Each structure stands twice: as C-alpha cells, then as structure tokens.
Amino acid sequence: MSNYQIETKCVQSGWHPKKGEPRILPIYQSTTFKYDTSDQMGRLFDLEDNGYFYTRLQNPTNDTVAQKICDMEGGVAAMLTSSGQAANYYAVFNICEAGDHMICSSAVYGGTFNLFQATVKKQGISCTFVDPDASLEELAAAFQPNTKLLFAETLANPALVVLDIEKFAEAAHSHGVPLIVDNTFPTPVNCRPIAWGADIVTHSTTKYMDGHAMCVGGCIVDSGNFDWDQHKDKFPGLTSPDPTYHGIIYTEKFGKGAYITKATAQVMRDLGSIQSPQNAFLLNVGLETLHLRMARHCENAQKVAEYLDAHEKVAWVNYAGLAHNKYHALAEKYMPHGTCGVISFGLKGGRDVSVGFMDKLNLIAIVTHVADARTCVLHPASHTHRQMTDEQLKEAGVAPDLIRLSIGIEHADDIIADLEQAMEAV
C-alpha cells in the first residue's frame, strides 16, 4: 500500500482479505493458536518460524492494525501496546538498560515526563531534559558516552511546541543514536516524522487515532532506517546474542525488522502490555475516518483560535495555526495541512479566572482527555500536571493559567457559542 495517499491508507491499509474471507477485519478473540506437531510449535518458540502461538506475543487482529499504522507512517514494522505509556516505555526500554542515559525534550506529556524523570530512573536509566528549542550546540552538550537515544514529541502535549524534527534527527544521528518521536497529536495524517529523519515513532492511539474516546492503546513504528550494527557497542541487545532465544542476534536474523522483533519477542513477552484484539478492532474503525476527522478538528480549531485571539478577556492563545505563533513557521514546514485540534489559552486574571471559566461551560465538558470527537477542556496545572512544581511546569511549557481546549468535530459555531456564554459569566 506504500504508494497510496494517506487517505487511502487510513481506509484500506492493513487488512487485505483473500477469496471468501470477511471484508471486515475479524477480531481474533483467542488467547492461543493450534498446531499439528510439537516441532511446528517448537520452531515458533525459537523464532525459527513466523506464526501465532499466544496473544501476549502476537495476535492477527493486532498485527493487522499495527500494519496499517506502519503503512501510514511509512515504516517497516510496528506493534500495538496496551497504552501510549507502554509504547513510550517499550520504545526506550528496548534499547536502554541500567547504566544507560537518554535525552528527552522537556516539552512532553506529563505521563511521559514522570516515566522518564522518575520511573526509568529507578531502573537505572538516567534522563537529561532539554529545551525543545535548543540549538544543535546545546543539544550536543547533553550527550554522554552512554546516551542511547533522543526523545521528543512532534507536537507537544499540552505545550503545543512544534518540534524541529530535522534538527533533532541531526543531533541524534551525529551522536550515533536514534531519534524517537511521539507523533500522537498530529497523527500521520498531518505529520510523517520518518520522512524528516525520525527513526522510531510512537503513538498514544487513545487520542485521535481511536478518536471516539473508547479504547486506551499505543503503537510503536520502526522506520528501519537506523543502522544498529554501525553502533554495535551501543546497542548490544540488538547486535549481540540473546540467550533467551538460544543466542540469536536480532539484527543478523531480522535485518530491518530487528527492533520491533526484539520489542515483541523479548519486551512484550516479559512485560506483557498487550492491546486487546477487541480494542485493536475498534482502533481500526477509528483509523478509517482519521483523515476526515483531522481535517475537521483543524478547521474548527483554527476558527476557535481566531475567536479567542480576538477576545478582550483572553490574555494569550497558543495555536500554531495563528500567524503570530512562535511555531507557525515550523508547523507550516512539518504539518502543512494543520497541526491538530488542541489549543491552549489563558484568561486575563490568571489561574482562578481560568478555572472559574471552565466551570461555566455546558457543551464543552471537563474530562481528562484530549483529541476525540467531542470538544473538552482540562486545566493541566490542576489535573494532568498536578504533581509538577511551578519550575517544572515552566520547563514543560505549562503556564499556571493554561486551559487546554481540545476542539472536536461538532459545528464550530456551537463550540464558539459555548465559549462565549462562559466568557460572559466570568
């Protein structure tokens, strides 16, 4: 499907039924798979044959949906995970172990910040956070001999910083490590980071990909472009024998599939954060309309951002679609069809006024979510980023008065009318 446009991939990639097979991707609601001889099964456990045997490792419904996302991103291999958190953790843990170091943009999702700042640290992996707008020289200064990867979000949640992907890729590659990007907010409909040099792409499929706020899920896509063997000493997990598989070497045996095969056969086998096939099925239904929804999210968000920008009670608006936005030029380069439906803004009067305003909304609900069909709001400083100090909030690009508004696919006039009545009430 690689020559098709993204719209066609959203609808058609992944499931290709043969004669007499169901038109719609079946849900393989089965923990296990049958074989005729003991030897057939044994070969699967040795990774000598490719086949299904237990859903914790692989399931046909999940793999088909992963294949669709892989096609959409322009990668070579992909896997689904139970959540975006699991995707980001696996993406890192697949190539890092105790004693290693990683670098991460400071403008990332609160859960990702916790994961890298606190949880992986307990496992002996240290993380240096860098300004997403850092120069190449500043980025270079963060690298250590044991650095294994550079991580960032293409469009940061909730700071809405647009990543200069080419610059980050250059910094990573000149230090012999891959660039891993979380592409949750723009989705491959609006941004395809692999084309700009990213090596591995992760997703919280919970957001726009599902789009209906039905299923928590994640995905990891490998571009196949990073040459692990060229940096053999840095990535022994991929380039030296795995004793848990009779000494196979992933890069030797699986070539461009090495990274995802290891993440599946080793990390998923041992940690087990699988997506349920039922959820993968629903995710696939979401993906079929992703291109239509993203366009409407962006169109509505542009109108709302312009409305807010012109409003006398609004102190500031952050949306890369606005010409005066700091990231407008980068967005035009990397996301020419729009960024996403998420806007952040603050009201004059600060934190308390912002919180009071949210309580007055009717159509727009307060939920811990973004990026689904229904317009919703959240106050990160009180909710998702509650655990951060004011200093950490600042580094993450989250002002105390910041309201995160996730614009849905309703009619823009109705969204604006709800905002207007709440504005009048504060």
Q: What is the dihedral of CA 211, 212, 218, 223, to 10 degrees?
A: -20
Neighbours of 124 (CB within 10 A): 11
Is residue 286 involved in binding ligand PLP (CB under 6 A)?
Answer: no
Biggest CA-to-CA distance, the chain: 74
Is residue 344 involved in binding ligand PLP (CB under 6 A)?
Answer: no
Nearest to 375 by CA among 327, 284, 304, 295: 304
Which tokens go with 303? Answer: 């109108």
Which range of residues in 51-59, 77-85, 135-143, 284-292 is near ligand PLP by CB under 6 A? 77-85
**Minimum distance from residue 369 beta carbon to ligand PLP (Å):** 8
Among 13, 64, 83, 239, binds ligand PLP (CB under 6 A): 83
Q: State the Cα–Cα distance between residues 284 and 11, nearest whole angstrom.
A: 9
Judged by CB under 6 A, the number of residues near ligand PLP is: 16
Task: Convert 15-35 to b/e letters by CB count within 10 Å (16 or more is b).
Answer: beeeeeeeeebebbeeeebeb
Q: State the Cα–Cα distance between residues 187 and 184, nearest whole angstrom.
A: 5
Binding positions for ligand PLP, 112-141, rule CB under 6 A:
112
Cα angle at 67 between 60 and 19, to 5 degrees? 60
Instruction: Return the number of the residue (44 or 219) whose C-beta is nearest ligand PLP.
Output: 219
Which range of residues in 45-53, 200-208, 236-244, 314-322 is near ligand PLP by CB under 6 A? 200-208
Instruction: Return the number of the residue (59 or 105) whose C-beta is nearest ligand PLP.
Output: 105
Is residue 61 involved in binding ligand PLP (CB under 6 A)?
Answer: no
Binding mask 215-254 for ligand PLP (x = CB under 6 A): -x-x------------------------------------
Strands 314-318 and 403-406: unpaired
Instruction: Return the number of the residue (158 or 178) whose C-beta is nearest ligand PLP.
Output: 158
Is residue 106 involved in binding ligand PLP (CB under 6 A)?
Answer: no
Binding positions for ligand PLP, 178-197, rule CB under 6 A:
182, 184
Instruction: Return the number of the residue (237 or 380) whose C-beta is nearest ligand PLP.
Output: 380
Is residue 406 involved in binding ligand PLP (CB under 6 A)?
Answer: no
C-beta nearest to ligand PLP: residue: 84
Do residues 259 and 200 lie in contact, with contact meaning Cβ atoms separated by under 8 Å?
Answer: yes
φ/ψ of 359, rounded to 5, equals -65, -15
Q: Which residues bind ligand PLP (CB under 6 A)?
A: 83-85, 88, 109, 111-112, 153, 157, 182, 184, 204, 206-207, 216, 218
